[in-house]
């Protein structure tokens, strides 16, 4: 059997075409037929240390990227986007304290027409149809919460609704209160602004009383007090 000792290999041409690797410092290698091996490009770099404005361990691609699989990222930052085209369901956020902000107008469309249109130019919102949160009250007292919109009072005895603070809900908040009990000869529905959470008025009074047969009333907040309209 033949025996071999040490052999000297001259690697002085590493990095040249055909040597097995080429390209600028930090370039990721890819195979090209013309180079006869792997090569690199200044358009695809991997920085192991901070360089320019890039953090360590950063891959930089100057060009287009086509992905046929899934991209998973802890942070996804997009700049200078003209069109985002996506199909299927999309989910944003993972907790109720997340905030999603955008600049410009928003249009949500159905099969033939818009469902919601919010114009940043006109500062107006249009909806095809609207529904608000409904709460049926069957107890003697009820604390209206900030997400209530329609309140239906359906008990036969006196019922008192405590409004949320006008400063908490803010100016422009709306409420609808309806007496749903059709035979209320002696009991009353009261809408009160006097509450442990803070004292504020309804039509410049401590409370507002619904009168008549199955009456209803609309209220709005100016940020300090509540008013009927």
What pLDDT, in 10s, does the model give residues 63-101? 999 999 988 888 888 888 878 888 888 888 889 999 998
H or E element that contains 38 = strand 37-39
Check: CB of residue 147 under 8 Å from CB of residue 164.
Answer: no
**pLDDT tier, 144 (very low <50, low <70, confident <90, very high otherwise):** very high
What is the pTM assigned to this prediction? 0.67
Q: Classify residue 42: in a domain, yes or no.
A: yes
Check: CB of residue 19 under 8 Å from CB of residue 10.
Answer: no
Last residue of a domain, one of 33, 63, 93: 63
Q: Classify residue 125: in a domain, yes or no.
A: no
Q: Classify residue 90: in a domain, yes or no.
A: no
Q: Could you tell me what percent of the chain has a pLDDT over 90?
A: 51
Any idea how long the chain is? 229
Q: Classify residue 215: in a domain, yes or no.
A: yes
pLDDT at position 178, please?
Answer: 97
Q: Classify residue 220: in a domain, yes or no.
A: yes
**pLDDT tier, 209 (very low <50, low <70, confident <90, very high otherwise):** very high
Tell me how many domains the chain contains: 2
Residue ranges making up the domain that contains 147: 134-228
Q: Which two tokens stand for residue 149?
A: 């919109």
* HSE-CB for 103 with a 13 A CA cutoff: 1
Q: Classify residue 5: in a domain, yes or no.
A: no
Q: Classify residue 211: in a domain, yes or no.
A: yes
């Amino acid at each position: 059997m033949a025996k071999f000792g040490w052999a000297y290999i001259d690697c002085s041409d590493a990095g040249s075409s055909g040597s097995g690797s080429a390209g600028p410092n930090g370039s990721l290698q890819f195979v090209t037929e013309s180079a006869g091996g792997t090569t690199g490009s200044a358009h695809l770099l991997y920085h192991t240390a901070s360089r320019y404005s890039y953090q360590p361990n950063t891959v930089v691609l100057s060009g287009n990227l086509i992905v046929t699989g899934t991209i998973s990222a802890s942070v996804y930052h997009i700049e200078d986007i003209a069109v985002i085209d996506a199909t299927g369901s999309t989910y944003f956020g993972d907790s109720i304290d997340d905030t999603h902000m955008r600049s410009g107008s928003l249009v949500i469309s159905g099969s033939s027409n818009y469902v919601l249109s919010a114009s940043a130019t006109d500062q107006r919102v249009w909806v095809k149809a609207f529904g608000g949160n409904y709460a049926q009250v069957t107890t003697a007292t009820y604390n209206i919460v900030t997400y209530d919109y329609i309140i239906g009072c359906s008990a036969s005895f006196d019922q008192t609704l405590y409004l949320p603070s006008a400063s908490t809900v803010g100016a422009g908040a709306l409420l609808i209160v309806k007496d749903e009990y059709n035979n209320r000869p002696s009991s009353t529905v009261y809408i009160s602004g006097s509450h442990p959470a803070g004292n504020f008025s309804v039509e410049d009074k401590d409370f507002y009383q619904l009168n008549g047969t199955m009456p209803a009333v609309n209220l709005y907040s100016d940020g300090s007090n509540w008013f009927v309209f």
